[in-house]
Structure 1
Amino acid sequence: MSSQTIGLNQELYTYLLANSVREPEILQKLRQETANHPHSVMQISPEQGQFMSLLVQLMSAKKTLEIGVFTGYSSLSVALSLPSDGQLIACDLSEEFTAIAKRYWQAAGVADKIDLRLAPAVETLDTLLAEGQAATFDFAFIDADKENYLNYYERVLQLIRPGGLIAIDNVLWSGRVADPQIQNPSTQAIRNLNQKLHDDERVTISLVPIGDGLTLALKRS
């Protein structure tokens, strides 16, 4: 939930964009449209989208999962990096927000790779588990309501194969996680998740200070 990596001044951030980000035109157009959206703060930054795209390519991922779509920037970043037979199951509740996403998926020629599930994500994840899809996904991105983060994480961990990767957004929460005076439910939920991940021997982790903080959790064998 940050349009740029936190902790960088504008001069350095501009330099980062100019010397690192290779944003395809279709992603740039989507980002520009979303910038005018009332909830534009929910979009990930372009450098984070590119980073996740690189991770997907490094893993040669084919089967991926996303919890929280919004206008589709992260899902489009991932889908563009998947092979022709790759798949992304995208979970969201909003027909309004995802209508924007679907326009850009279609324009980018990746709509056939994306299976949009409009339902509470916990229900979708439970359905996938009930269908026998545990340990079949290569990569997952979690970026939805914070108070359900632990619920999402536990289910996604079952769905990811050993050696698969989970990326979890907003783990620095604009610095609020480090302020003990802030005790609202979303902030506490992220703190709880961060502590859970730190202590969880089922995964190898790294919290990367990109965007609003992105934790990478590699599922151990």
Structure 2
Amino acid sequence: MSSKTLCITADLYEYMLSVSLREPDVLRELRAETAHDEKANMQISPEQGQFMGLLVKLLGAERTLDIGVYTGYSSLCIGLALPQGGRVVACDVNREWTDIARRYWRKAGVEEKIELRLAPARQTLEHLLERGPQTFDFAFIDADKINYDTYYEYCLQLIRPGGLIAIDNVLWDGAVADSAINDAETVAIRALNRKIHAEPR
């Protein structure tokens, strides 16, 4: 038995997608349009989106948070996985990107499930917490890395017992394991990883 996770080669990655990924056309089209944007690397991968949708379904989630929308792929994955009446509160500050997101949410028929909050995420999360703690089932954090810890702390209060917080970029393309890399974003992610590892809550 192997003592560590198998390294993923390019060929193995393509094979994995070929036998596991079932990406709806609307998600594929959104990825294709986003690929032309200079910030396209901010979009989650299709297998991440599919896995997140599975988590939402397994949780039986109805109230969800998407912190960091970009062009809407993650929100769309969540929206497609939610039952009728389910809700995504989607937090972002960029209207240009979220205009693309809205177009695809509408095309997929899930626009009524997604409530876009165009404001700093911290402000939105504070307002949500004022309405009461433990009111959400699932949260996905994928916004500015410097504030990851802040978003995590809010989510700990907003997510119900038995709910789930998913966080993107925790390995930061391997930078977290390189002691020579100490930019503010990498340092922030390392600190959060250590905190979560020791988290008693």
Distance 1:112 1:184 in 2: 39
For 1:205, the equivalent position in structure 2 comes to: none
TM-score (norm 2): 0.96
Q: Secondary structure at the match of 2:15?
A: helix
1:153 aligns with 2:152: yes
Q: Secondary structure at the match of 2:81?
A: coil
For 1:166, the equivalent position in structure 2 comes to: 165
For 1:13, the equivalent position in structure 2 comes to: 13
For 1:187, the equivalent position in structure 2 comes to: 186
Distance 2:154 2:125 in 1: 6
Structure with a larger share of its residues in strand = 1
Whichever residue aligns with residue 99 of structure 1, its letter is D
Q: Deviations over 1:77-128 (max 9, x none)?
A: 0100001100000000000110100000000000000000000000000011
Q: Secondary structure at the match of 1:122?
A: helix
Q: Secondary structure at the match of 2:106?
A: helix
Whichever residue aligns with residue 147 of structure 2, its letter is N
Q: Secondary structure at the match of 1:80?
A: helix
Q: How many residues align?
A: 195
For 1:79, the equivalent position in structure 2 comes to: 79
Distance 1:63 1:131 in 2: 14
Whichever residue aligns with residue 194 of structure 1, its letter is N
For 1:219, the equivalent position in structure 2 comes to: none
Distance 2:109 2:51 in 1: 21
Whichever residue aligns with residue 123 of structure 2, its letter is E
Shift of 1:8: 2.2
Structure with a larger share of its residues in helix = 2
- 5 Å-filtered alignment, 1:1-221, equals 8-132=8-132, 134-202=133-201
Distance 1:30 1:9 in 2: 26
Unmatched segments (≥5 aa) in structure 2: 1-6
Larger RCO: Structure 1 or Structure 2 (Cα < 8 Å, ≥ 6 residues apart)? 1
Percent of aligned pairs with the same amino acid: 61
Distance 1:8 1:92 in 2: 32
Q: Deviations over 1:43-62 (max 9, x none)?
A: 00000000000000001100
Q: Secondary structure at the match of 1:65?
A: strand
Distance 2:129 2:149 in 1: 16
Please give the root-mean-square deviation of Cα atoms over the aligned residues, in Å: 0.7
Q: Deviations over 1:33-79 (max 9, x none)?
A: 11111100000000000000000000110000010000000110010
Distance 2:50 2:87 in 1: 18
Distance 2:58 2:92 in 1: 26
Q: Secondary structure at the match of 1:85?
A: coil
Unmatched segments (≥5 aa) in structure 1: 1-6, 203-221
